[in-house]
């Protein structure tokens, strides 16, 4: 009975919130989403098992000019209600098969203010998800494996302000119609919800990009200033890396994406990442709004990590996914992942993971 109540809690929470009136003409926008997912490890990995997990998300955006307050301002508040078991606990993978896996908790995820200094420059302060602006592949966001969101070269090595633990940040954005530069400093350990530069460090990141119609080309660099303990126990004063993202539209229905990331091998568990895939709209002619994709995510383990812990050279995930638009409020999203060498463990057979997700967009 208690488990059933926990599963229903996000629905009840969002239904309660939806009873409050809001008006976009007053500059206030309310968005509510519930994502539920059944996951089954059919074969391989740590063990055969299944679970259900989900997340309820409510976001409020306030345009200060439309609200009659002042020009150029935007407030954003996002809360999460998460529940369920992380399927990686029985799959055994490093890259995290489900990008909504978290556990059971309610959390204030983001709370920031952005001010437009002019048409080309803005500054943001507050709790902010790094991956909402940095290291993003629009085509890669179709997939359910976490590495297609932000590469394992970053998320697998340092504490980072990502879903579901955003941290304090200050971000500068400079842009025109086709070019942009983002630069930011993030709290070094978002889980603690405090800024302690001496022990937790800071995450510095900058990204430049070129946007051309439906295509995008991005380069980023980052440094985490907290002490980094290498697999052999050596302590380094910081960690750093670089990445590139390409979203290449071939036509209005077909696109390709590529993600590349690298960090120093001497101090990291994962020293390189490669993600790539194909993104197709309207594979079935009568269902033009649906999206099909095949993607590959490869997290390469450093030679030091391989030697000390007896790992294989990499964990590689192949995902096949299909996002079906049922109504304006409901998407059904099946996926299958084949995960070779989960966690880099030579003794583990390739995991075959079946997933069925639904997304309920509440009006």
Domain ranges for the chain, please list them.
2-362
Which tens digit of pLDDT belongs to each residue from 283-294? 998 999 999 999
Separation of alpha carbons 341 and 304, rounded Å:
18
Which top CATH class is 2-362? mainly beta
pLDDT tens, residue order, the chain (363 aa): 344 444 445 444 544 544 444 555 689 999 999 999 999 999 999 999 999 999 999 999 999 999 999 999 999 999 999 999 999 999 999 999 999 999 999 999 999 999 999 999 999 999 999 999 999 999 999 999 999 999 999 999 999 999 999 999 999 999 999 999 999 999 999 999 999 999 999 999 999 999 998 999 999 999 999 999 999 999 999 999 999 999 999 999 999 999 999 999 999 999 999 999 999 999 998 999 999 999 999 999 999 999 999 999 999 999 999 999 999 999 999 999 999 999 999 999 999 999 999 999 986
Can you name the residues that pair with 56 across neighbouring β-strands? 34, 81
Buried-exposed string 232-262: b where 16+ CB fall within 10 A, e elsewhere? eeeeeeebbbebbbbbbbeeeeebebbbbbb
Q: What is the pTM of this model?
A: 0.92
Torsion of CA 263, 297, 287, 35, to 10 degrees: -80
Peptide bond into 277 cis (omega under 30): no
pLDDT at 19: 44
3-state secondary structure 296-359: EEEEEECHHHHHHHCCCCEEEEEEEEEEEECCCCEEEEEEEEEEECHHHCCCCCCEEEEEEEEE
Token pair in block for residue 86: 């992380």
Separation of alpha carbons 156 and 149, rounded Å:
12
pLDDT at 5: 44
CB-CB contact of 96 with 56 (8 Å): no
pLDDT at 25: 66
pLDDT at 362: 81
Separation of alpha carbons 326 and 166, rounded Å:
31
Q: How far is CA 230 from CA 155, 161, 221, 303, 346, in A?
A: 15, 21, 20, 12, 22
Q: What burial class does residue 72 get, using C-beta atoms within 10 Å of its C-beta: 0-12 exposed, 13-18 middle, 19+ buried? A: middle
């Amino acid at each position: 009975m208690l488990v059933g109540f926990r599963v229903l809690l996000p629905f009840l929470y969002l239904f309660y919130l939806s009873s409050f009136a809001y008006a976009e003409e007053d500059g206030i926008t309310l968005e509510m989403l519930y994502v539920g997912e059944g996951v089954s490890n059919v074969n391989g990995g740590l063990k055969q098992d299944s679970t259900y997990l989900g997340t309820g998300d409510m976001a409020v955006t306030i345009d200060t000019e439309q609200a009659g307050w002042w020009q150029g301002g935007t407030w954003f508040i996002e809360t999460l209600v998460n529940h369920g078991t992380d399927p990686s606990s029985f799959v055994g993978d490093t890259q995290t098969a489900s990008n909504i896996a978290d556990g059971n908790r309610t959390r204030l995820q983001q709370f920031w203010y952005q001010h437009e200094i002019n048409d080309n420059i803005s500054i943001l302060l507050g709790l902010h998800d790094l991956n909402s602006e940095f290291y993003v592949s629009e085509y890669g966001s179709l997939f359910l494996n976490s590495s297609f969101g932000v590469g394992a070269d970053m998320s697998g090595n340092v504490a980072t302000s990502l879903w579901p633990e955003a941290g304090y940040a200050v971000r500068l954005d400079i842009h025109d119609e086709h070019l942009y530069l983002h630069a930011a400093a993030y709290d070094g350990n978002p889980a603690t919800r405090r800024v302690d530069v001496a022990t937790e460090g800071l995450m510095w990141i900058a990204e430049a990009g070129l946007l051309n119609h439906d295509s995008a080309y991005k380069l980023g660099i980052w440094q985490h200033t907290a002490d980094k303990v290498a697999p052999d126990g050596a302590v380094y004063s910081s960690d750093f890396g670089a990445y590139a993202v390409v979203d290449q539209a071939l036509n209005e229905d077909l696109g390709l994406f590529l993600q590349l990331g690298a960090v120093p091998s001497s101090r990291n568990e994962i020293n390189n990442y490669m993600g790539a895939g194909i993104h197709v709209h309207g594979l079935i002619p009568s269902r033009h709004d649906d999206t099909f994709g095949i993607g590959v995510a490869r997290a390469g383990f450093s030679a030091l990590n391989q030697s000390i812990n007896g790992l294989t050279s990499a964990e590689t995930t192949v995902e096949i996914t299909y996002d079906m638009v049922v109504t304006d409020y409901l998407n059904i999203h099946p996926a299958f992942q084949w995960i070779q060498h989960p966690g880099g463990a030579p003794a583990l057979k390739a995991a075959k993971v079946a997933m069925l997700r639904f997304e309920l967009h509440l009006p």
